[in-house]
């Protein structure tokens, strides 16, 4: 019989937006198996790397889950944030949070991440967030293959996973390098950019 950790007092967990227009706003997060919101400290570090202001940028949150990364980007002025989430329950919670914030710069697609990514236009995103379920290396590799062509010329790809990312061993990342990386508990996180071809 699967064991589920009940939410405290039956209430949903919450995440808190770190910066931007909705700074300190709490958002409920469902207690679902495999749903692992990016920790506050990691989000704070990531958006220090990206720059606090994402005005005009187009962002893709491919395995949205709680929507923590996408909401953070939208709060910081991103022009468009496309969140993709396969779980109907998780997607419904993201929609409820979008309504709560009145976030017009967010689009939510309840869909398979890989299938949807393969249909998107090349070069159409400035920041791509990849935080697939930990432990599925094949899924992460396929997501990277699909994400690389979607990134704009000076775009960035953020990868969160359980192990360090060795770019040299991943064919899809030829010409890319890890420009920043960190570790928080079991979470390894990496910011990738194209190498300058000068």
Work out how many domains the chain is built from and give that number: 1
Q: What is the SS3 string spanning 144-163?
A: HHHHHHHEEEEEEEEEEECC
Question: What is residue 87's predicted lDDT score, i.e. its pLDDT?
Answer: 92
| Over residues 86-107, mean pLDDT | 95
**pLDDT of 42:** 92
Q: Confirm whether 2 is domain-assigned.
A: no
In a domain, residue 56? The reply is: yes
pTM of structure = 0.90
H/E stretch holding 42 reads helix 40-50
Q: Regarding predicted confidence, which is higher, 89 or 30?
A: 89
In a domain, 3, yes or no: no
In a domain, 125, yes or no: yes
C-alpha closest to that of 128 among 111, 143, 112 = 143
Residue 71: CATH number of its domain: 3.40.50.150
pLDDT digits (tens, 9 = 90+) for 21-79: 999 999 988 877 766 778 888 999 999 999 889 999 999 999 999 999 999 999 999 99
Strand, coil or helix: 72: helix
Choose between 198 and 179: higher pLDDT.
Answer: 179
71 occurs within a structural domain: yes
Question: How far is 28 from 111, CA to CA, in rounded Å?
Answer: 21
Nearest residue to 188 via CA among 42, 51, 72, 48:
42
Residues of the domain holding 142: 8-194
């Amino acid at each position: 019989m699967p064991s589920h950790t009940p939410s405290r007092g039956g209430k949903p967990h919450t995440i808190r937006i770190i910066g931007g227009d909705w700074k300190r706003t709490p958002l409920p997060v469902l207690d679902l198996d495999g749903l692992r919101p990016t920790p506050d400290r990691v989000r704070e570090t990531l958006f220090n790397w990206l720059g606090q202001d994402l005005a005009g940028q187009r962002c893709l949150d491919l395995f949205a889950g709680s929507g923590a990364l996408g909401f953070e980007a939208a709060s910081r002025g991103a022009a468009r944030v496309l969140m993709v989430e396969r779980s109907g329950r998780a997607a419904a919670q993201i929609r409820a949070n979008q309504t709560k914030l009145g976030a017009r710069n967010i689009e939510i697609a309840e869909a398979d991440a890989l299938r949807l990514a393969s249909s998107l236009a090349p070069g159409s995103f400035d920041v791509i967030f990849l935080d697939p379920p930990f432990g599925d290396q094949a899924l992460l590799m396929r997501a990277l293959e699909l994400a690389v062509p979607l990134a704009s010329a000076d775009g960035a790809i953020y990868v969160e996973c359980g192990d360090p990312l060795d770019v040299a061993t991943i064919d899809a990342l030829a010409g890319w390098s890890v420009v920043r990386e960190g570790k928080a508990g079991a979470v390894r996180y990496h910011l990738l950019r194209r190498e300058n071809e000068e």
